[in-house]
Amino acid sequence: MQKNLMKNNGFPMAIDVEGDLLPVTGANIDSWYVKAEFESNGKQLGFTWHQGTIALSSMLPKVVGKITNILPHSGKLISAECVFMNATDDLWYNYDFTVPCTKNNGVDHDKMRVYSKWGELSGNQNKMNLDLVIGNNEIHVTLTANKNEPVLYNGGTGCIELGSSLSYEYAFTNMHMEGTFIFNGEKYPITGGHAWFDRQYGMKNQKNKVAKLMPGKSVWMWIGIPRLKNGVGTISLWDIYNKGEKYAYLTVVHEDGLHVNVDCDITYDEIWISEKTGFSYPRVIRLNVPKEEIKLELVCLSSGTGQEFVRDMKGLSGCQCLYRVTGTVQGVPHTSVVDIEMIGDLCGVE
């Protein structure tokens, strides 16, 4: 066959959507993530699950050592966290652990299966099952890919350079979700729900630069909003703070799959200060993206401070909380509920 008649694969992406569901050889940090916001039995609920491996030979040995006090010869660590959210009753349960990789806590290398003492995520790019049991709280859901929803490639190609690290990330942002959510022993059926699956790994590059996003040292907020306009489209927004530096941007994915990276104006209002850590967080967030005609206000659904979690390493403490989103996207009204991740002293003074 003549070369010019071969199938055109278009722009060469930095990631392999199917192949990279498996662990990536040489990755410093390798993670799998699922989040969902939904209503059931008249209550606004949500959850976040995140599990991955950390290589002790990576750029984070000192950070990891402080968290776990595990000797470097143990090779890799498994780190997991899960948040159960009930905004109606203002209840927020956060769990986390970090242990060496073992036969009970690890990741398969021949198929997508991430497992721990809590349960596991398994499946493929078309269908996944997440089953977790943590005391009286459980998640048992099936996630099915939405064939009409474009994959989110972080930065448009799946890779963003963050100083001395290459961050690879992609997401199935609008997977159909069915199953059962158990909160404090009470069952909540999930029908017609949606979930965000995120895959991320970091590779050390050869440039001698300070990383732009360093767990335990950087401060950041991340927001992922699917079904952005008329039930389709996505934004993935980062607001990152290093010493004397700020990086606020978002990747917009349009219905036709077009990816656009733009700056974002962010305003934090109604700030509250934690009595546990001294960190400060917003109850109201306003986003303005003139280039994409996006204007949104996000209002916290918690009136208290129970959504804050405190880690062994103070810099990794933060909040996972549900916010009500209202506003417009290219003139079309938008309303939703979204889980927001905030790590470190987000509204503090430099």
3-state helix/strand/coil string of the chain: CCHHHCCCCCCCCCCCCCHHHCCCCCCCEEEEEEEEEEEECCEEEEEEEEEEEEECCCCCHHHHHHHHCCCHHHCEEEEEEEEEEECCCCEEEEEEEEEECCCCCEECCCCEEEEECCEEEEECCCEEEEEEEECCEEEEEEEECCCCCCCEEHHHCCEEEECCEEEEEEEEEEEEEEEEEEECCEEEEEEEEEEEEEEEEEEECCCCCCCCCCCCCCEEEEEEECCCECCECEEEEEEEEECCEEEEEEEEECCCCCEEEEECEEEEEEEEECCCCCCEEEEEEEEEEHHHCEEEEEEECCCCCCCEECCCCHHHCEEEEEEEEEEEECCEEEEEEEEEEEECCCCCCC
- The predicted-structure confidence for 287-326, as pLDDT tens digits, reads as follows 999 999 999 999 999 999 999 999 887 888 999 999 999 9
Structure tokens at 52: 């991955």
Mean pLDDT estimate for the chain: 91
CATH number of this structure's domain 18-343 = 2.40.370.10
Selected residue with higher pLDDT from 147 and 179: 179
- The predicted-structure confidence for 216-254, as pLDDT tens digits, reads as follows 778 999 999 999 988 889 999 999 998 888 999 999 999
Contact 46, 94 (CB under 8 A): no
Q: Is the pLDDT of residue 104 over 50?
A: yes
Q: Is the pLDDT of residue 67 over 70?
A: no
How far is C-alpha 284 from the geometric centre of its chain's CA atoms?
A: 20
Q: State the pLDDT at residue 73.
A: 42
Q: Is the pLDDT of residue 68 over 50?
A: no
Q: State the pLDDT at residue 57.
A: 62
344: left (phi over 0), alpha (psi -120 to 50) or beta: left
- The predicted-structure confidence for 280-292, as pLDDT tens digits, reads as follows 999 999 999 999 9
Contact 178, 142 (CB under 8 A): yes
Please tell me the distance from the alpha carbon of residue 325 to that of residue 339, in angstroms, as a whole number: 10
Selected residue with higher pLDDT from 349 and 342: 342
